[in-house]
Amino acid sequence: MADRTADEIFKEFKEHSIAEFFKKNRQMLGYAGKVHSLVTIVHEYVTNSLDACEEAGILPDITISIKGIGEDKYKVTVEDNGPGIPKNFVGKALAQILSGTKFHRYMQQRGQQGIGAAGCTLYSQITTGKQVSVRSTVSKGKSYSCSIGIETMRNKPIVSNMQDIENGSDHTGLYIEGEFADVKYENSDHGVYEYLKRTALSNPHVQIKLIDPEGKEFTFMRAVNSVPERPIPTKPHPLGLTVNDLLEFAQRSSSRKVSSFLLDTFARVTPNKINEIKGMLTQLDMEKEPQKLTWQDAEELIKAFSRVKWLAPDASYIKPIGAEQIRIALKNILNPEFMNVIERRPAVFRGGIPFIVEAAVAFGGTSGKKTEEGYEGSILRFANRVPLLFDSGNCAITEAVKSIEWKRYGIDLDMQPVSVFVNVSSVYIPYSGVGKEAIAQEDEIIGEIKLALMEAARGLQRYISGKEHMHEEASKYNAVMRYTKQLASDLSSMSGIDHAIIEKKLETLIAKHYQRVAKKEEGSGDAKQEQR
């Protein structure tokens, strides 16, 4: 075979759009496996609904319907009561990869890649050849419907069948319907039902209704009647920057000088810090235009940043779920016999990115998982309120849970009905892959999760220990009480005192010695009497 020249080889050189790339690498978006793919579709639509409702200050009501229409083929509809999408944005919002209202903002948010619903549109298109149907109501009585697709070669939205609809509804909202193949509905720990259950756990202000392929309806009722406080955009902290980050920010800056660029762009940078940095520089002129920064200039700045004593990042921009909200949600969904919820103080990883860990341990009720042998514990993982169902082995949360000696706290995750809940909130979640299914195993994050869980476990340890002690006391109390009648009878025959009087005094004496058990028995007796 003759050797090919460079000109001949590069005749095959082509450019590809981002949509075309993801068409060939759909597993990178979470479309890996049939069950996983269906959960990803529901996740993307539900996340969009939650974000839209919260930004509009609306308590979310979301209905998801999944209907089988063939082998491993389903029609999925998602309807919400959010603000809807204006006509002129519907194509870009639902059918253009890397566009939207989130990607460019440095703030805490559920999604952070700008792929979401557009990925669902693409998946429908490549598995069934069909577009996604949309109906949106953005103002009272005014709606429109259309079909949405993607021109993958150019990553451009295709909007067709646009029709205005007059209706008498007072409510706004968005309705999306798509057909998807190569997916599967499954009742498992990794299925749609479990995903929605966990979404309700981490978002107690939402009401979710699921209609499964068998027509069964499940409703996760709203437990909190207030919309969570919205996170607001913030600025990146100098300690979290790389050389490339700094150069990218500089290229987008409208500042005329490096000094004003640093002041305008980054958190905790003050005129005094600028003067401090100036004293460390040997080559860079701070009067230089930011767009003219070289790699060497940026390296010098990053080195200077590392030597400055900065204030910690402002964690007020992070909005966790909240300990009380978690308690309400756990009671609403799991109804545990006991729970202990811990919210840690803000911490940082990679030198400058703030995050907050919330953790809880729930015991009894519907906590854990039922098995043929009895029960076993479950790990409920969340990042910025989003459930993480897959890739648990690579997750910082799983690593932290496994590293704890639970039996030291009287807890057996292999045998007891225990749920371990962990939510990590941050402006930037370091996912271990583009599918956003696991948090990267950063040492600082693992350490904070461990501290939170050990504190939560100590509370459960005290409860279990107290419960066991109460059980021992109850056994002794019941054993002694069994002999009161006989003892009272013997003492009555010896003393001539009425049998009933002696028995009553014996019971009073025993109850005084076992006060906690006696009160519990008395309360139990009253409850039974009321039931009768």
Q: Which of these three, 439, 457, 475, is where a domain ends? A: 457
Residues 162 and 93 in one domain: yes
CATH number (domain holding residue 97): 3.30.565.10
Of 307, 342, 367, the one marking the end of a domain is 307
Alpha-carbon separation of residue 498 from 343, 441, 492 (angstroms): 60, 74, 6
Nearest to 437 by CA among 388, 396, 378: 388
One domain for residues 28 and 81: yes
Do 504 and 432 belong together in one domain? no
Give the domain CATH number at 417: 3.30.230.10
293 & 440 share domain? no
Q: Cα dist. 268→109, 235, 265, 429 in Å? A: 22, 9, 10, 21
User: Residue 491: what pLDDT?
Assistant: 73
In a domain, 476, yes or no: no
Residue 212: inside a domain: yes
Same domain for 206 and 253?
no
Asked whether residue 462 is domain-assigned, the answer is: no
Domain count across the chain: 4
- For residue 453, tell me if it sits in a domain: yes
Say whether both 150 and 190 belong to one domain: yes
- Asked whether residue 501 is assigned to any structural domain, the reply reads yes
Give the whole-angstrom CA distance, residue 130 versus residue 179.
7
Q: Read off the amino acid at residue 290.
A: P
Classify residue 385: in a domain, yes or no.
yes
252 and 131 in a common domain: no
Residue among 111, 81, 115 nearest 98 (CA): 115
Q: Does some domain include residue 467? A: no
Co-location of 433 and 365 in the same domain: yes
DSSP H helix total and E strand total for the chain? 16, 16
Whether 162 and 288 share a structural domain = no
Identify the domain containing residue 440 by its residue range: 317-457
Tell me: do 289 and 323 sit in the same domain: no
Same domain, 258 and 213: no
Is there a single domain that holds both residue 85 and residue 202?
A: yes
Residues near 276 by Cβ (< 8 Å), separated by ≥ 6? 308
Domain final residue pick, 274, 307, 340: 307
CATH number at residue 246: 1.10.8
Instruction: Going residue by residue through the chain, which has 532 residues, state the pLDDT in tens, using 9 for 90 and above.
Output: 557 776 665 665 554 555 556 556 666 666 788 999 999 999 999 999 999 999 999 999 999 999 999 999 999 999 999 999 999 999 988 988 655 444 445 678 776 444 678 889 988 998 999 999 999 998 877 899 999 998 877 778 999 999 998 876 778 999 999 999 999 999 988 999 999 999 999 999 999 999 999 999 999 999 999 999 888 888 888 887 889 989 999 999 999 999 999 999 998 999 999 999 999 999 899 999 999 999 999 999 999 999 999 888 888 889 999 999 999 999 999 999 999 999 999 888 876 788 999 999 999 999 999 888 889 999 999 999 999 999 999 999 999 999 999 999 999 999 999 999 999 999 889 988 767 889 999 999 999 999 999 999 999 888 877 565 555 556 666 666 676 777 767 777 788 787 787 777 777 776 776 566 566 655 554 444 443 3
In the numeric block, the tokens 């000109």 are attached to: 7
The predicted structure's pLDDT at residue 486 = 77
Q: Is residue 13 part of a domain?
A: no
